[in-house]
Chains A and B, each alone.
Chain A
Amino acid sequence: MNREGRLSGADVGAAAIGWAVRAWRSTRADRAAPRKEQPKVSQQHAVIEVELPSGDTVSVIRRRFCGGPGPRVAVVAGIRGDAPEGIRVAHELVTFLNAAEPRLRGTVDIYPCANPLAAHRGVPRWPFFDSDLNRLFPGDDGGHPPERVAYALTQDVLGADQVVEVRGARAAFSEVPQAHVRPGEAVATERAMAMNVAVVWQRTPGPAAPSTFAHQFDGAIVLEGGTGNRLTPGVGKDLTDGILNMLATMGVLAEADLPFHWASLQRPVRVTDEHVARVRSNRGGLFLPAGATWKKVSAGEELGRVVDPTSGEVREVVESPSAGRLLAIRELPVVFPGTVVARVVNL
């Protein structure tokens, strides 16, 4: 027994257990083996395979597209299981890169879903442990499964020249496509400006940032947009095109290979924290929004109202603190006092 916490082989009769476990796993593997040989997916790699108590396993997969020499770009999706937009973008990229791989000048690693069990259920956290994977980085090689996943993912992505995390929107919100970078990261900001989003937000990291995936990598870009736990028409294509365009600006992809003309892309607005206002409700009830994302608003304009859930009586009219556009609007109506109901970007 290792008194620091690891069960050594001697304590449990390692040889016997090892034999029994191998026999058990191989029995399961035999049963699961396909009758026909499956086509080989050469660039598919399991970053980590997590054993489940039932004997099943679940893997975090990396798809690597490797052309000639050049930069390595990592695109990670599905760190939370309720962000299917990011997973869709990852699969759109895989489809495109499957055809474009021979012409790549560099390497693109796509991690379509870092939290497969949560995605299976459409919930944000890793099930059973109920752990928010995006609060466990850089992870722990000797910890629980989600901690080991965080560790393995971090180690696998390390060394990439550009890291992009693709999310959807926060669970209760609709958000315009936007890129988040850290203040002072000029290269990341310029790349984000090429990513076909409405806004590039140079956002100061909050208290929880050190435990997030993106914070582990200098210059990481976080893409958000759409509606929480939903696919939103157009958003997936916008973000996919944005990533492809960024690959072109880095020279990984030839401009001629882009499936669109660069002139068709959006020109983002670059903002800092001081341009973005969080608008909160002061009352509890149902928040009924008055406008959709990216709507122009003037100072004092109604963003929505909080009504009594039973009588329908208006408890509060929520107003925009400044002129600008709606960066995000709450679409799940139940609110408490202090709940964020909108973000307004002051242009």
Chain B
Amino acid sequence: MTVVFSLEAPYRRAYELHRLTFGSGGPVVAIVAGLHGNELNSMHAVNLLASALQVQRPQGTVHLFPLVNTFGGDEGVKRWPFDDRDLNRAFPGDPAGTSVERIAAAVLAHSEADVCVDVHSGAPHVRELPQVRAPMSGRELELARAMGLPVVWRRTGERLDATGLVGAWRQAGRHALHVVGGRGITLDTEHSGTLARGLNRLLSSLGLTPPIGPGETVADVTRGEIETHRAPCGGFFVPEVRVGARVKPGHLLGYMQIPIGGDRIGEVRAASSGVVMTVRAWPMVHAAELLVRVAATG
């Protein structure tokens, strides 16, 4: 483990950006987790991968950053605690700028690689089936599919915003992927394991590690192939499915009830066959908020 950047901090020891490097030579892959301090699945997945790489000895170089936002992690918060700024909105950063801009610049500089992956958990109020979000076509889509994660979500204009890490990598001409699994502020070991195996498959597809078993991609979809259910009004949403569940038209996905008294005010049912890829985990919902996503499977 190497400290590639540090920053003096008041009241505590200096902030340190840690990087684990396995192997040498090309190709080079960089995997970053924990830009958000409350996304535990991403950290655990990268640490599981680190354990595997200690045995596998990659034919090439793998740089791992298991936890960038250590201060946010210490406090269980998403953002950099000092000024409450989102590290993933501070790219490409500035070596002479504010603390988050300096950290962002350091992450970008020390993650130079042929293929880069930014790993996240879902937001705290939703649980996501492990998925990779990729552009509609091209080399990055090939790399995304090689991960064998349960969902490949092809998105127009996916992460072109250069204030985010994936966008900044792409602006720098690198192949970059955005991976999400589980829920923020919650460790889900099953999802973390799925994410770690997906990352290992990516390395394997690039020839860095020995082949491992194939994944099971259950949905390879665009936005138009995702059935999105939103709350028709504010209320309390009770899910009746978990992520990964296969559903058919009419399947009860959950119901809305009045938060005080519990009267049921409506049901949410699947309109088509598919796999549940997102479920609301925090039940108090505003009107039009996301409840369930179903990825169509034909």
Give me the interface of A with B, judged by CB distance under 8 Å.
1, 3-7, 11-14, 16-17, 20-21, 24, 50-55, 128, 130, 142-145, 148, 172, 207, 280, 283-286, 309-310, 334-340
Contact = CB atoms under 8 A, between A and B. Distances in A.
Given A51-B287, A52-B234, A340-B98, 6 more contacts: A5-B228, A7-B232, A11-B229, A12-B256, A20-B264, A284-B8
A1 B284 contact: no
Contacts, number: 126
Given A336-B8, A336-B9, A55 B260 contact: yes
8 contacts: A6-B230, A7-B291, A12-B267, A17-B266, A21-B265, A53-B235, A53-B284, A339-B83
A207 B288 contact: no
B7 A24 contact: no
B263 interface: yes
Interface residues of B, number: 50
B65 interface: no
Contacts of B8: 283-285, 336-337
Interface of B: 7-11, 14, 78, 82-83, 96-99, 101-102, 163, 223-236, 256, 258-260, 263-269, 271-272, 284-289, 291
A20 B10 contact: no
A314 to B, nearest CB: 14
Contacts of B287: 51, 145
A125 to B, nearest CB: 9
Contact of B268 (A7, A54, A335, A338): A7
A338 B286 contact: no
B259 A53 contact: yes
A250 B23 CA distance: 70
A262 B285 CA distance: 51
B262 to A, nearest CB: 12
A53 B99 CA distance: 37
Contact of A7 (B101, B163, B229): B229
A12 B99 contact: no
A11 B272 CA distance: 11
